[in-house]
Amino acid sequence: MSQWSSGYNVDVGYTYGFYRELSPNWLDYVATVQGVSSPKGNARFLELGCGYGLGLVLLAGMHPDYEFLGIDFNPVHIAHGRKLVAEAGLTNVRFEEADFVDLAQGWPQAWGLFDYVTAHGTYTWLGKSVREAMVQTIKHATKPGAIVYLSYNTLPGWTSTQPVQHLLRLWQTTEETQSIKAISQGINRFKVLADANSGMTQALPTLNTRIEDMEKHDRSYLVHEYLHDNWHPLWFSQLADEISAAKLAHVGSASVGDLYLQAVLPPAQKDILAQYEDPVVREVMVDVLVNQTFRKDVFVRGKTPMWPADQKDAILDTAFVLMNRPKDEEFTFKLSAGEVSGKTDVYKPLLEALDTGPKTIRDLMSAPFPSPRTLGDTLQAMTFMLHAGFVGLHSPIAKKKPAKALNRAIVKSVAQGAPYNYLIAPEIGNVLQVKDTDMIMLHEVLNNPATKDANKLGQKLVTRLLILGKGLVQEGQALRDNNSMVPYAVKLAEGFLETTFENWKKLGVI
Ligand SMILES: C[S@@+](CC[C@H](N)C(=O)[O-])C[C@H]1O[C@@H](n2cnc3c(N)ncnc32)[C@H](O)[C@@H]1O
């Protein structure tokens, strides 16, 4: 463990993620549904513990008029963020290497104050004194009315995983095992414990599911999940108490389907909840009823209510765009309480209305549906579809140049082997999750328009994949050499040129 990281594992960098919940429009949506005012105008956005910064850079590309700052104490992360910014030529985002412990002592005046402050997956992996420093940092950095987003491991859901974290870390520190190896070795050791029917495995029935789940995850993610000195899932009440030092009040869940969690609980559970009045205790009791493991919460520094008519107008003006159709038209929504099924005759017409383009809630309410809809019903239905990713918030980007420049820089890096999976779709103001093969093909076509031919492009794709030491997988079968890869790559190129490329042009990706 290093001398500078206060027990946080810095053996390996984190993953290159994008989390839609950190987008200003998503945070504003939560605030609006909950009747809380959110920042107005060209805002300033801060991410604490920004990791490699890919997510922040994507947000900056989508909001050229906003100003973004990413902070992390790991120089590997900051150097990566700065490199990507330079390659994309973005001027509205920068990264600073800084430790919350130092920032708590004094916030650099030149950095100014922020309208949005986010910290995804950081808080409950820090020791108490560093958490206190992070809260002080938030206090120093936020404007009155600022929106703050925190996601963190929660109790009671993580209770049964406590032995996993403790044993993984114990084995690693005593045997001085390198972090990635410690994860693989640890997973095997838990399987051996299960096979031998250990008392712990019997007493904790969800342990095996957790281990099976770990096997599917990226190893760098697992290092950052488990291999720190500190790992403290918190009750919502504990977290609310700790962050009250930064004058933060709870707004609601950024896992937006959960904004309606209390409404979908079974009657016996609703009766239990009805016995508790205090809002913090109610949140805790919901976590108990659903055995919550991870919370994504939105807070505000100074809860200014929206006046009811303003809230209604803001909801009516909220626009949605079709993103991914549900498979087999099954409208199921995975909430913290489990799966909730939606009635096809309620959801299908709403989705069909989006076939002809983005629609506001106002449009969706006045569309000719079989049954009348209330504002509340429509909002709940659209919130569930937003949660499921069937629709996205529609906020097209006026100045598209920075987003397109970033997309070019991203595909160029992917062609060089960067593990990025996201591009901006400026026409709808959303981030698309995309395959590396499609990004490589886009890079080739942008570089040389003569490759806009499936045979040429397929061959180019294979050449590039082989340089990167990668193969292709066709129907579960691994293809590793030029001859076996080319016919399949040509098929991929046909699909890319006919559909994906044209679609990306419409979405303003290129
Ligand atoms: C689990 S990662 C989350 C990264 C990013 N937010 C994401 O979700 O992709 C936590 C981040 O917090 C940073 N971090 C941990 N302790 C810190 C401290 N004391 N000061 C600043 N950054 C810290 C780590 O370097 C790491 O990048």
Q: Torsion-angle region of residue 16: left (phi > 0), alpha (psi -120 to 50) or beta?
A: beta
pLDDT above 70: residue 443: yes
The pLDDT > 70 percentage for the chain reads 99
Q: How far apart are CA 123 and CA 294, in angstroms?
A: 12
Which residue's CA is minimally distant from atom 24 of ligand 1?
A: 49
pLDDT (tens digit per residue) in 25-40: 999 999 999 999 999 8
pLDDT tens digits, one per residue of 468-489: 999 999 999 999 999 999 999 9
* Nearest ligand 1 atom to alpha carbon 103: 20
At 19, list the tokens: 């989390």
- pLDDT the model gives residue 205: 85
Quote the pLDDT of residue 42.
86
Q: How far is the C-alpha of 63 from the C-alpha of 61, rounded, in Å? A: 6
Is ligand 1 within 6 A of the CB of residue 77?
A: yes
pLDDT band at 369 (very low <50, low <70, confident <90, very high): low
C-alpha–C-alpha distance, residues 254 and 270, integer Å: 22
What letter does residue 13 receive in the DSSP assignment? -
**Cβ of residue 18 lying under 6 Å from some atom of ligand 1:** no
Q: Quote the ligand 1 centre to 47 CA distance (angstroms).
A: 10
Beta strands in 412-501 (DSSP E): 422-425, 430-433, 472-474, 477-479
pLDDT in tens, 332-365: 999 999 999 999 888 999 999 999 999 999 999 8
228 CB less than 6 Å from ligand 1?
no
Write the pLDDT tens digit of every residue in 256-293. Answer: 999 999 889 999 999 999 999 999 999 999 999 999 99
pLDDT of 368 above 70 = no
Q: Which residues pair with 150 in a beta bridge?
A: 119, 297
Q: How many residues does the chain have?
A: 510
CB of 149 sitting under 6 A from ligand 1:
no
- Which pLDDT does position 371 carry in this prediction? 65
pLDDT (tens digit per residue) in 188-206? 999 999 999 999 999 998 8
CA distance 92 to 83: 14
Q: Per-residue DSSP letters for 228-280?
A: SS----B-HHHHHHHHGGGTEEEEEESSGGGGGHHHHS-HHHHHHHHT--SHH
- Mean pLDDT value across the chain: 94
Distance CA 354, CA 315 (A): 17
- The model's pLDDT over 231-248, given as tens digits with 9 standing for 90+, comes to 999 999 999 999 999 999
The dihedral sign for the CA sequence 237, 238, 240, 241:
positive
**Tens digits of per-residue pLDDT, 51-85?**
999 999 999 999 999 999 999 999 999 999 999 99
Residue 5 confidence (pLDDT): 84
Q: pLDDT, tens digit, for every residue of 108-132?
A: 999 999 999 999 999 999 999 999 9
Q: How far away, in angstroms, is 465 Cα from ligand 1 center?
A: 32
Torsion sign across C-alpha atoms 450, 451, 456, 462: positive
